[in-house]
Amino acid sequence: MTTAHPRRVQVTGDMFHPQLPARAHWAGRQRPHLAESPFANPHPVDGGRKTPCPSCGVRHTLAEALSLYRRHLDQNPDLVRLAATVEADVQFACRCELDQPCHVDELLRRADEVAVIALGDDRDTTFAVQTTPVRTGECSAESDSCGKPGVVAVRVTIGQLRPDEISTLRITMCAEHEGNAPRMYELQVASARELQDPVKNAEFLATVGQAG
Ligand SMILES: [Zn+2]
Ligand SMILES: [Zn+2]
Ligand SMILES: [Zn+2]
């Protein structure tokens, strides 16, 4: 038996009369009265569907669909970051029974591991720090001299509003230096938190040309 993530809720009602709980985001594919969510699983579970998976051309079991969704999240860390920045009182809805496994749990468990740090400035600058598996990039350990193929990365995404701007920096580590990832994550979180201090914040914004 599965325990649903505390922010997962179930849509009830029939196909054409979905009942979406208040303050809930529909996290599935397009349905009557429910718009496609960016968090939808592109690999549908075959529950007597007319057509197989549009991406793979085969019919997926639940276990397969969930495993493919985990890979989808590995390849799209921005989805996890996006989920992490959704207001804390918003719930994520799917059709799945709450005692059944669901892609939403995969998404929310990962989102819980993203540190979101808001600087509270005029442009709502937000830092998001996350650890994510990668298949590209070179290890930057040992002052950039390692250079082996990356397997994990700590990503720091800085988002600002008015105007909307976003930039991501990535610290890549190879299989040998993978053990550095937790410390690197903590370091990035700590330096973002430091910027919540108004004096340091002003200095930081000056360096990115946003002072005054
Ligand atoms: Zn598929
Ligand atoms: Zn579901
Ligand atoms: Zn390395």
**pLDDT tens digits for range 44-86:** 998 877 899 999 999 999 999 999 999 999 999 999 999 999 9
Q: Which ligand is nearest to the CA of 44?
A: 1
Q: How far is the CA of 67 from the centre of ligand 2 (A)?
A: 13
Res 112 pLDDT > 60: yes
Same domain, 4 and 106: yes
Res 212 pLDDT > 50: no
DSSP string, 86-121: S-TT-EEEESS-TTS--HHHHHHHHHTTSEEEE--S
Q: Which residues pair with 89 in a beta bridge?
A: none
Q: How far is the CA of 60 from the centre of ligand 2 (A)?
A: 14
Q: Which ligand is nearest to the CA of 59?
A: 1
Q: Which three-class secondary structure state does DSSP give residue 80?
A: helix
C-alpha–C-alpha distance, residues 55 and 42, integer Å: 7
Q: Which ligand is nearest to the CA of 54?
A: 1
Given 66, 86, 113, the domain boundary residue is 113
Domain that holds residue 82: 1-113
Same domain, 109 and 124: no
Q: How far is the CA of 31 from the centre of ligand 2 (A)?
A: 13
Q: Which ligand is nearest to the CA of 71?
A: 1
Residue 149: the pLDDT is 97
Given 86, 113, 140, the domain boundary residue is 113
Q: How far is the CA of 174 from the centre of ligand 3 (A)?
A: 4
Same domain, 1 and 104: yes
Q: How far is the CA of 143 from the centre of ligand 3 (A)?
A: 10
Same domain, 75 and 120: no
Q: Which three-class secondary structure state does DSSP give residue 71?
A: helix
Same domain, 53 and 132: no
Token look-up 């590995």 returns 74
Helix (H) or strand (E) holding 10: strand 8-10
Neighbours of ion ligand 1 (CB under 5 A): 43, 53, 55-56
Q: Which residues contact 85 (CB under 8 A, 6 or more apart)?
A: 116, 126, 128, 159
Residue 210: the pLDDT is 58
Given 63, 78, 113, the domain boundary residue is 113
Q: How far is the CA of 121 from the centre of ligand 3 (A)?
A: 36
Same domain, 73 and 87: yes
Predicted complex ipTM: 0.93
**pLDDT tens digits for range 116-159:** 999 988 899 999 999 999 999 999 998 889 999 999 999 999 99
Same domain, 3 and 107: yes
Same domain, 33 and 122: no
Same domain, 4 and 109: yes
Alpha helices in the chain (DSSP H): 62-75, 77-84, 103-111, 181-194, 198-207
User: Can you tell me the mean pLDDT for 18-43?
Assistant: 95
Same domain, 77 and 158: no
| pLDDT tier, 209 (very low <50, low <70, confident <90, very high otherwise) | low
Res 211 pLDDT > 60: no
Q: How far is the CA of 204 from the centre of ligand 2 (A)?
A: 42
Same domain, 163 and 207: yes
Neighbours of 24 (CB within 10 A): 18
**Top-confidence residue, 201 or 97:** 97
Q: Which ligand is nearest to the CA of 145?
A: 3
Q: How far is the CA of 205 from the centre of ligand 2 (A)?
A: 41
| pLDDT tier, 202 (very low <50, low <70, confident <90, very high otherwise) | confident
How many separate domains does the chain show?
2
Same domain, 12 and 100: yes
Residue 201: the pLDDT is 80
C-alpha–C-alpha distance, residues 52 and 80, integer Å: 26
